[in-house]
């Protein structure tokens, strides 16, 4: 496994991030433990989750599954760089009391203690803001985070789904207050969806944040969906809906044809492409089975030629960074 540093921290993390969103809703606890053991055995040390994962009546279930895996011992917790998130309304319905969601100091304090209990640990390596909160002053957020760092409950703070301007605002405020600031940004980024290149990734690079792309296969769209469809696979979800657009289908067909010519698997190439991108720490993969994890691991060792990278840019040209992306 290849490793890199997480942004401007001293943490060494694997270039593949194990996403756990499927643990609970789609993958039972025993299989989830098997996947985590396989990931750790393969050298993946960066695990990502969120307090809301489990969804619906089972919000928090995913953190509980990770906690029961840690409880097996064997140095599991010490070997893992653990990231979780805060923001969501954790009530079973949307009828929560005020201050039971978002990024108020009150909710951050409540949420971190609840996550620590579910995870069965006394600290979180990377505590991430799942979305921006337009109501809570940035100064209040950093005051709450600084207290958690001083208490030893978290090591670093990161963001998720933040626009470039918010990354700048958060870190400029942190600088003024003497806080450490954000160290990472989780963003939607893949071959098909490259808008993060305009402002989010440049902002992350400017402030020394690691970039952790989520949905690297665009919900399966980049995982060989047309070929699977031709082989009798079931069409479902957003990826299948995207193929109803003629232009999108043409791009994906060209993508699959190109990789078929090179004897490469689409999903592995999509992951490997992200590992070539400036500023990227590592993409999040969310396997439902151990076999899916094995496929993701192969992407780390896959070397993409300059010719292939140029061909991918022709199919998925992206927007380019700002301000050039806005040029007339």
The answer to whether 6 touches 281, Cβ cutoff 8 Å, is yes
pLDDT in tens, 83-96: 999 999 998 766 77
Distance CA 256, CA 267 (A): 10
58 part of a folded domain: yes
pLDDT at 161: 98
236 part of a folded domain: no
253 part of a folded domain: no
110 part of a folded domain: yes
pLDDT in tens, 270-324: 999 999 999 999 999 999 999 889 989 999 999 999 999 999 999 999 887 777 7
State the pairing for strand pair 12-14/3-5: antiparallel
The answer to whether 46 touches 315, Cβ cutoff 8 Å, is no
The answer to whether 116 touches 122, Cβ cutoff 8 Å, is yes
The boundaries of the domain holding residue 51 are 3-220+271-307
CATH of the domain at 207: 3.20.20.100
Please count the structural domains in the chain.
1
242 part of a folded domain: no
Closest CA to 221 of 303, 315, 290, 130: 315
238 part of a folded domain: no
166 part of a folded domain: yes
- Residue positions annotated with a catalytic role: 53
pLDDT at 325: 76
Three-point CA angle 317, 323, 324, nearest 5°: 45
Low-confidence ranges of the chain (pLDDT < 70): 93-94, 233-236, 327-328
Distance CA 195, CA 261 (A): 28
pTM of the entire predicted model: 0.95
105 part of a folded domain: yes
pLDDT at 130: 98
Burial class (CB in 10 A: 0-12, 13-18, 19+), 253: middle
């Amino acid at each position: 496994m290849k490793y890199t540093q997480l942004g401007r921290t001293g943490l060494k993390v694997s270039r593949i991030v194990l996403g756990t969103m499927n643990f609970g809703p789609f993958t039972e606890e025993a299989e989830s433990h098997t996947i985590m053991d396989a990931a750790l055995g393969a050298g993946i040390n960066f695990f990502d989750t969120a307090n809301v994962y489990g969804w619906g009546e089972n919000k928090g279930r995913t953190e509980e599954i990770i906690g029961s895996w840690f409880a097996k011992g064997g140095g599991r917790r010490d070997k893992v760089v653990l990231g979780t998130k805060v923001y969501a309304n954790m009530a079973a319905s949307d009828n929560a009391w005020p201050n039971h969601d978002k990024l108020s100091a009150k909710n951050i304090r409540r949420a971190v203690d609840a996550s620590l209990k579910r995870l069965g640990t006394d600290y979180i390596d990377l505590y991430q803001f799942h979305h921006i909160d337009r109501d809570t002053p940035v100064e209040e957020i950093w005051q709450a985070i600084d207290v958690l760092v001083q208490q030893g409950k978290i090591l670093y703070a990161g963001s998720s789904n933040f626009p470039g301007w918010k990354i700048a605002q958060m870190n400029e405020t942190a600088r003024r207050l003497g806080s450490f600031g954000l160290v990472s940004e989780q963003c939607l980024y893949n071959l098909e969806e490259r808008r993060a290149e305009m402002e989010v990734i440049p902002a992350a690079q400017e402030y020394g944040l690691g970039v952790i792309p989520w949905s690297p296969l665009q919900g399966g769209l980049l995982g060989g969906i047309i070929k699977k469809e031709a082989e009798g696979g079931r069409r479902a979800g957003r990826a299948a809906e995207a193929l109803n657009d003629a232009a999108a289908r043409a791009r994906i067909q060209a993508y699959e044809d190109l990789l078929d010519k090179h004897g490469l698997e689409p999903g592995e190439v999509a992951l490997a492409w992200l590992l070539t991108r400036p500023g990227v720490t590592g993409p999040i993969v969310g396997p439902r089975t151990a076999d899916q994890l094995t496929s993701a691991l192969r992407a780390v060792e896959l070397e993409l030629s300059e010719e292939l990278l140029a061909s991918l840019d022709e199919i998925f040209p992206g927007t380019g960074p700002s301000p050039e992306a806005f040029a007339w």
